[in-house]
């Protein structure tokens, strides 16, 4: 049985906080109240589904009064609920994510290909995109549960320690990648996790050159995964596609020899379909 990666410790969110009044004056098009509301929504996680006003303020970096107004507004609009002590997100919040899925053709285009790969390999397959330092799952075809954490569309995993994440990070311009590495706080999810920033940079360069990535039990003991980039006909990487397998059943050699070619040929088919 695989070990579940340790839950994330409470911390401030990674995205920039709303600007100060001085910054806001320099950019009249920036809506501070909207930015604050989004930061408050991001404070809720699987590990912390219920939060007090003080906890939201601490996690988001917002003043307590601002966090309170955001929470009460979300509650009035039906996106959040409260039991009198703490707040929690309500199902209506899913409409925000569904707006993305329904407005883009990418998940719809990838889904049938994932299902075909999953049937062919008898393994779970996923597709994801990069959001700051996390991979967001946009499509998935699962045959069995191979991780101790459940994965579904909308799930997020740390990009630097997942095969899809490394495939996507490897495509970033060098200056942007250096910026993200400089801000990164390395974590050891397992005793196999690479935490040295210099080694991570070398691994990403190798991924860029080889055109695929294998991560061996760095996120969770017992899990190996292989990923390839999904490109459009213009050569732009628009997503990553992966297959995750149990390490005790599939060796690295089999992963590279049996699974990787299927993912690569499928990505090539998708490239023609996705156009520019």
- Give the span between the Cα atoms of 231 and 207, in whole angstroms: 15
- Give the span between the Cα atoms of 142 and 117, in whole angstroms: 10
Per residue in 128-167, pLDDT (tens digit) is 999 888 998 989 987 755 544 556 787 889 999 999 999 9
Per residue in 8-33, pLDDT (tens digit) is 433 444 444 444 444 444 677 788 88
Instruction: Assess contact for 217 and 247: CB atoms under 8 A.
Output: yes
Instruction: Assess contact for 61 and 12: CB atoms under 8 A.
Output: yes
What is the CATH code of the structural domain delimited by 21-93? 1.10.10.10
Beta strand 134-141 with 156-158: parallel, antiparallel or unpaired? antiparallel
pLDDT at residue 104, as a whole number: 61
Q: Look at residue 65 and tell me whether its pLDDT is greater than 50.
A: yes
Place 269 in a pLDDT band, splitting at 50, 70 and 90.
confident
**In CATH, what class is 104-274?**
alpha beta
pLDDT at residue 171, as a whole number: 93
Average pLDDT, the chain: 83
Place 212 in a pLDDT band, splitting at 50, 70 and 90.
very high
Output the pTM of the full model. Answer: 0.66
List the domain boundaries for the chain. Answer: 21-93, 104-274
């Amino acid at each position: 049985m695989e070990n579940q990666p340790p839950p994330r410790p409470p911390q401030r969110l990674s995205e920039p906080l709303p600007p100060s009044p001085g910054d806001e004056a320099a950019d009249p098009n920036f809506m501070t109240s909207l930015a604050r509301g989004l930061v408050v929504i991001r404070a809720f996680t699987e590990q912390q589904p219920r939060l007090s006003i003080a906890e939201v303020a601490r996690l988001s970096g917002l003043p307590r009064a601002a966090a309170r107004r955001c929470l009460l507004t979300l509650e009035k609009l039906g996106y959040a609920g409260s039991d009198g002590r703490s707040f929690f997100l309500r199902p209506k919040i899913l409409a925000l994510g569904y707006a993305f899925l329904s407005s883009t053709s990418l998940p719809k285009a990838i889904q049938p290909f994932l299902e075909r790969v999953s049937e062919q390999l008898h393994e779970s397959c996923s597709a994801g995109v990069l959001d700051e330092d996390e991979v967001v799952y946009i499509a998935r075809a699962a045959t069995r549960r191979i991780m101790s954490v459940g994965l579904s569309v909308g799930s997020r995993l740390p990009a630097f320690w997942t095969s899809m994440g490394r495939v996507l990070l490897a495509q970033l311009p060098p200056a942007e990648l250096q910026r993200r590495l400089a801000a990164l706080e390395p974590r050891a999810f397992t005793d196999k996790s690479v935490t040295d920033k210099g080694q991570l940079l070398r691994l990403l360069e190798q991924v860029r050159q080889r055109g695929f990535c294998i991560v061996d039990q760095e996120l969770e003991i017992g899990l190996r995964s292989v990923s390839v980039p999904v490109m459009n006909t213009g050569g732009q990487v628009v997503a990553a596609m992966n297959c995750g397998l149990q390490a005790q059943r599939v060796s690295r050699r089999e992963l590279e020899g049996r699974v990787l070619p299927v993912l690569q040929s499928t990505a090539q088919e998708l490239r023609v379909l996705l156009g520019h």
